[in-house]
Structure 1
């Protein structure tokens, strides 16, 4: 770090520590409210509530109303509503933002990523399906690097799952049935008395192994060992204190005994016949907030996440992961048009897989971001963060954004941000006969430039678009084959020289009439790699969605809501995918019988297309990868009922 960087960082931290004036609301008209109108504000992009037209980032918000209308049964199902790319392999669903799997997953701002491979083939270390959808108030998706605010893993963006807080006293039950013996039962109870509220959810869902369409033969086959058996129990307790303060206790418990769903051989055999895993998640967090009556998001949080899994008839054995963390965040108003958000984080993570790894890492961080409101509705923000990792050392990341709010429905923005991704504990210390750790790995580092526009074109037509370009150094990748001193073959992770990403995202929506709404989207992603032995960049064949298209048509009239969603992908590399393109069609029908009861019907992959969302990455003994290793389910249907008691 040079002298100038030290001066900037010291200035930011000194401001955060010495200035204690409470932050007034970014929108003065909301100063006397305890809660922001969340349909107008987003918390994740800047760590404080900010109007959507003042955010210098590509942001998608999925509301509670949209979740209910879609009849979704899992968090991945909810995310598929947006243009976000989801790759599914070996029983895991991996989110991609800006074509990047290095995505930070949060629950109410609490980090849920692990420094370990919790699912085969995933470097993100995040489990998406930790909550019943009845717990979710909204999901905020922020594309682009956010390392200056959130640290490692936030290279492609951030997904923040915001949970519901009880607003009334009621109990509801839900049940759902569908293809391949799918069953889901849910009980949600919430209550509020004076300044104390609670929300309790219990859910169980099961499904037999799903079927898929073989792209080689066109026949329907069963994906053996893909069965699902999962239980959720969650509790949220809230206590409102005087002076805009509150205390919140959250607990999430998940038990899972599901098939490992390993990759499929060309002849239909599973790589790990009879493979399944049992896992247990217990997460608890206690959060104290203050300044809520002024629109601030000040908090002090202590949390503990614990995950353990046992694998049977598979490559893995036993995993036990534990994380203890402390988060602090505070906002200050430094002037009429100047605010500062600062804070610190501490986290200790321990990994024990009872076979090759028994390690722990500790990370500590401080961050600060200044935000200025300038003439002509310009907003400028500049932030920096220092992270220290007990193994790989310390590093700075910075971000600079500019936003112009042209009117109440239009804003134009530009941003530049640095990001970092630390190697996982498994990547550094794994020691199996198949996979050797590499303790000499360096963090991935890079920067992204983004330009974007959000506007309303008139007659109910809205446009959201952004273009980005990234440059990554020391990008981590899997070295498919190496040999030890005894001539035994193994794999390991290495730092390749460089990686470039560029892309484009566009969404158009229009309210055709009070009943009809239509939305269309297009995404473009290009990823190129350059290893230390190459002089030129080459296209990454594993890009799962080079060109993505989405069309959604919705009809909403009185008690009936229906929707059709068409998705298509083109331009894929057939060396690792079963085809260059695919097209699927999904359908939802939601009918509200009365104020207490609703029924819904869903159909997925109505075109019965043979496709996969993740590239094939396992090789045979000849070093050849066969496409279609992770097939997606064939046509399926589901029927559900929800009733408030």
Structure 2
């Protein structure tokens, strides 16, 4: 079996290298009209996350990146995590490759902060996550067939997106139903990996539909040093979406997304098995978008989401946790556009319920579920005060409340933001501003029997930023952003439980997007970071001093290929010199595909192609930790697959 895998791996890597090296020569004569269309590429992508209004990246005056549908297809990106690992300023802290350790999107940080907001089509998928918002569960994170692009806004965005938007915002934009198409994708690889995907969409007059299904399995894996890690994960994702165009200016959308993950394995650090773990989540969304005139438009959204999970080990004293939360969201946004003003204002309402935690309440005389609510009112105006100079200002007022448990009442808060930008030339613009953030404690941080603190107060602070962007021409774009985030009151975890803290982070992000000739394009990024916060282990070696990202794509005739990855330079803590297997490391991934016909594509993908031994989580820094007590990431892996479209 081992020899078979080695042969398959050799074939995968060899085919990828050959595809990238000889694609232009071997298939130059096979270009078709469809192939030419597929090569269309726009560096200056449209984004909506920076201001809630469609804007080009170069006009957004914000620190933003986008992973496009073209990027997703060229690298055969299979999850949101894979996509985000190519983005400057974004870091993951995974418990090794056996996702069963927490079966979710593990420890996402933007600009060093674990407090982020995750959106699907501009609306939250979870709430009341407190300082743990970097861990999230969403059906659309595991299946990219229904994803058009992923936008990442780095830096505080509290006035536009509310509680939690300290480090930044991740916005998953789903695909529009504008064609009739069905695709079937089957793949297999080492580490007992296999995946089956189905995606179909169509339109009949005013009605459009999209249905997708994904079934994925992975098993034991080896790290870069050859050590076996026991793991068994089965996950499925499914969803459907209906669009109905009442008129050209009035559109309704109804969608349902569901994911289920079951996992078992072994925790080598604690020498203990975890078993019968699971995570289930679903999201139901209704949207009503209407354009009232050339100046006025309105978008209304209702979303209900639920997440339920369990993690337990044989030794019941270790890491046994259940969770069951239900959230309701109502969002209504009004947009007003003139030649000199871009105004957005609206209201966001969120209600969360802990379906497990109950407390006896005196006013009702019975046990009640713990609940949290928050109503937010916001407004932001981008005002061109004189030609080429824009002043942006925003306010958000949060009115939270809780019920079902005694403790401190949750204070209201008003967040402010302002920014001044100047289009120095047609190619250059600069901006500077400040934005506040406000973070409600999570339901778990208040109610948990072991670590919860019913008197925990919300976190707040502000981020100052200075940025510059330059469009050298239509094929070369550069952006740079410096930031400093001051956490006047944060939320941290001690051995006694959750407490309020203080902190500071500062650094910069740079990215360069380029198109190299007709068939090549590339994205390069570099991030520098300093971060410290009381009661946070991040500065004990988790944080990168520098993090470089890169992606190079090739597209010509029947061949597509890509090489991406990142280079991590750890900010070493002298108190823990042996805390990690390696402090500086580079990870390279490669993908290539060949389309023998218009409807069939055969692809090969290799991750960590140099079989690097590295870790993103360690136990060495904790009491009784020993060198070698870390959660290793997977070594070299490969996938071979075929996609059929009809």
Which TM-score band (shorter chain)?
A: 0.7 to 0.9
C-alpha distance in 2 between matches for 1:617 and 1:193 = 59
- Any gaps of 5 or more consecutive residues in structure 2? 1-41, 96-100, 360-367, 403-409
Q: Which moved more, 1:592-601 or 1:444-453?
A: 592-601
> Is 1:74 aligned to residue 79 of structure 2?
yes
Query: Quick one: distance in 1 between partners of 2:635 and 2:642?
Result: 24
Residues of 1 paired with 2:458 and 2:295: CA distance? 36
Q: What does residue 23 of structure 1 align with?
A: none
Check whether the contact 2:116–2:133 (CA below 8 A) recurs between aligned residues: no
Given that 1:384 and 1:397 are in contact with CA atoms closer than 8 Å, whether structure 2 keeps it comes out as: yes
Paired position in structure 1 for 2:282 = 282
Aligned counterpart, 1:411: 429
Counterpart secondary structure, 2:227: strand
Whether 1:112 aligns to 2:118 is no
Instruction: Give the number of aligned pairs.
Output: 573
Report the Cα distance in structure 2 between the residues aligned to 1:521 and 1:301, rounded to whole angstroms.
Answer: 34
2:139–2:258 contact (8 Å) kept in structure 1: no
CA offset at residue 463 of structure 1?
A: 1.5
What is aligned with 1:599?
A: 602
Deviations 1:430-477 (A, max 9, x none): 10xxx2311222211111111111213359433121111111112222
Cα drift, residue 65 of structure 1: 1.1
| Residues 180-212 of structure 1: per-residue CA shift (max 9 Å, x gap) | 111110111111011110000011111112221
Structure 1 residue 628 displacement after superposition: 4.9
List gaps (5 residues or longer) in structure 1.
1-36, 482-490, 532-536
- Measured against aligned partners, the alpha-carbon deviations of 1:371-399 in whole angstroms (never above 9, x if no partner) come to 21233322221010001111412101011
C-alpha distance in structure 2 between counterparts of 1:507 and 1:472, whole Å: 26
Secondary structure in 2 matching 1:66 = helix
Q: Which position in structure 1 is the counterpart of 2:206?
A: 195
TM value normalised by structure 1: 0.83
CA distance in 2, matches of 1:201, 1:254: 12
The superposition leaves residues 563-590 of structure 1 with CA deviations (integer Å, 9 ceiling, x where unpaired) of 2224211133362433321122211112
Choose from 566, 579, 591 the match for 1:588: 591
Instruction: Determine which structure has greater relative contact order: mean sequence separation of CA pairs < 8 Å that are 6+ residues apart, divided by chain length.
Output: 2
- Equivalent of residue 429 in structure 1, options 443, 447, 459: 447
CA contact (8 A) 2:115 2:132 kept: no
Structure 1 counterpart of 2:306: 306
- Flag the 1:198–1:293 CA change in 2: closer, same or farther, 3 A: farther
**Structure 2 contact 478–512 (Cα < 8 Å) conserved:** yes
Q: How does 1:210-229 map to 2 (within 5 A)?
A: 210-213=221-224, 218=225, 220-224=226-230, 226-229=231-234
Per the alignment, in what secondary structure is the counterpart of residue 115 of structure 1?
Answer: coil
- Residue of structure 2 equivalent to 1:399: 417
How far 1:320 moved relative to its partner?
1.3
The CA RMSD over aligned residues, in Å, is: 2.7
Whole-Å separation in 2 of the counterparts to 1:542 and 1:208: 29
Question: Shift of the alpha carbon at 1:297?
Answer: 5.7
How far is the alpha carbon of 1:558 from its aligned partner?
A: 1.9
- Alpha-carbon deviations, 1:516-551, whole Å to 9, x = none? 3344321111012358xxxxx999224432211233
Any idea what SS the aligned residue of 1:390 has? strand
Question: Structure 2: how far apart are the matches of 1:227 and 1:42?
Answer: 38
| Match among 227, 232, 237 for residue 237 of structure 2 | 232
Partner secondary structure for residue 373 of structure 1:
strand
Which of 509, 516, 519 is the matching residue for 1:512? Answer: 516
Alpha-carbon shift at residue 494 of structure 1 (Å): 1.0
Structure 1: distance between partners of 2:388 and 2:341: 13
For residues 369 and 546 of structure 1, do their structure 2 counterparts lie closer, same or farther at Cα, with a shift above 3 Å needed?
same
Match of 1:245?
250
1:13 corresponding residue in structure 2? none
CA distance in 2, matches of 1:464, 1:554: 20
